[in-house]
Amino acid sequence: MTFHILIADPLSEEGIQPLRSLENVNIITDTNLTPDELGEKIADFDALLVRSQTQVTSEIIEKATNLKIIARAGVGVDNIDLNAATEHGIIVVNAPNGNTNSAAEHTMAMIMSLSRKIPQAYNALKNHQWERKKYVGVELKNKTLGVIGLGRIGAEVSSRAKGQRMNVMAYDPFLTEETAEKMGIRYGTVEEVLKAADFITIHTPLLKETKHMINAEAFQNMKQGVQIINCARGGIIDEEALYDAIISKKVVGAALDVFEEEPFLDNKLLELPEVIATPHLGASTFEAQENVAVDVSHDVGTFLTGG
């Protein structure tokens, strides 16, 4: 019996070699499918491999009459309808560890770019403007970094921030004061962290509970002149509320890798000079992409061979 595997988002070729080397496996890569096209094809496949772009909705799952496993080459499974998959007996696996380091490094790059206005100064210089007065930054040393979500990435960011001599304060519903102390981090409720932080970085999944958790009320509780970083998921920050908080000068800088709608052609936040941004690049390194592809290949291979 041949197992038919569809790779619907770009994955590292080196990473999927273990899957290619299996017997009786037919792998099709098609990374430009519209939702309708995916719906038309999906019944032909036993396994589906995706990153964050392909939306595996209940409509797609409804049509996936032979699908046995969906593999997400990355952490967040918010692009997969988990309830629909469960109802149809389809296993969902992800690759939670492979991109932790890359996402943490990207977050640090964003924090440092933000604090020293590097993207803005670079843009000005490229436009033949030598602007030394306009781009005065702030030091990170002795500033408080508020970490919302102290899981794998939040913990890695915290330890790097301590290397920058920042004071780290964190909120996570599973964090105890004792664990925080062992990590050299100050524990706080979400309100306490928002109130104390000079920089706030978000590292939670996008869930019903975290959607718009950083909203107008949360911005009100923050320090005047706070800077905010989101390398987790679009939708955790309410973009309208962030826009208003920047206009009112409550927030003086925002670094965004993720957006409520992706990909987009237009987003009014990008018109603000206080906002720096990357197009969902947190996990976009050769190392992370190979790691996550190896992990999902291993899981899909094990499953398809009866493991």
Respond yes or no: is residue 298 known to be catalytic: no
Give the interface segment with ligand MLT, choosing from 74-82, 148-156, 196-204, 240-248 (CB under 6 A). Answer: 74-82
Nearest residue (CB) to ligand NAD, 94 versus 115: 94
178 is catalytic: no
Longest dimension (CA), the chain: 69
How many C-beta neighbours within 10 Å does residue 110 have? 26
The whole-angstrom distance between residue 97's C-alpha and the CA centroid of its chain comes to 13
- Asked if 38 touches ligand MLT (CB under 6 A), the answer is no
Q: Which stretch binds ligand MLT (CB under 6 A): 71-79, 80-88, 146-154, 271-279?
A: 71-79
Minimum CB separation of residue 215 from ligand NAD in Å reads: 13
Nearest to 275 by CA among 117, 139, 125: 117
| Partner whose footprint covers residue 51, from ligand MLT, ligand NAD, none (CB < 5 to 8 Å by kind) | ligand MLT
Q: Is 52 in the site for ligand MLT (CB under 6 A)?
A: yes
Mark whether 160 is an active-site residue: no
Task: Give which of 142, 138, 212, 213 is closest to 171, Cα–Cα.
Answer: 213
Summarize as ranges the residues that interact with ligand NAD (CB under 6 A): 75-76, 96, 99-100, 103, 148-154, 171-174, 203-206, 209-210, 213, 231-233, 257-258, 280, 282-283
Distance CA 133, CA 270 (A): 23
Answer yes or no whether residue 51 interacts with ligand MLT by CB under 6 A: yes
The one catalytic residue among 105, 203, 280, 290 = 280
Catalytic residue among 105, 233, 274, 290, which? 233
Pairing between strand 226-230 and 199-202?
A: parallel
Q: Map tokens 């290949």 to a residue.
A: 297
One-letter identity of residue 286:
F
Going by the DSSP 8-state scheme, the letter that residue 245 receives in this structure is: H
Give residue 236's identity as a one-letter amino acid code.
I
Q: Quote the CA–CA distance of 64 and 303 in Å, as a whole number.
A: 18
Footprint on this chain of ligand MLT (rule: CB under 6 A): 51-52, 74-76, 99, 280, 282-283
Catalytic residues: 233, 262, 280
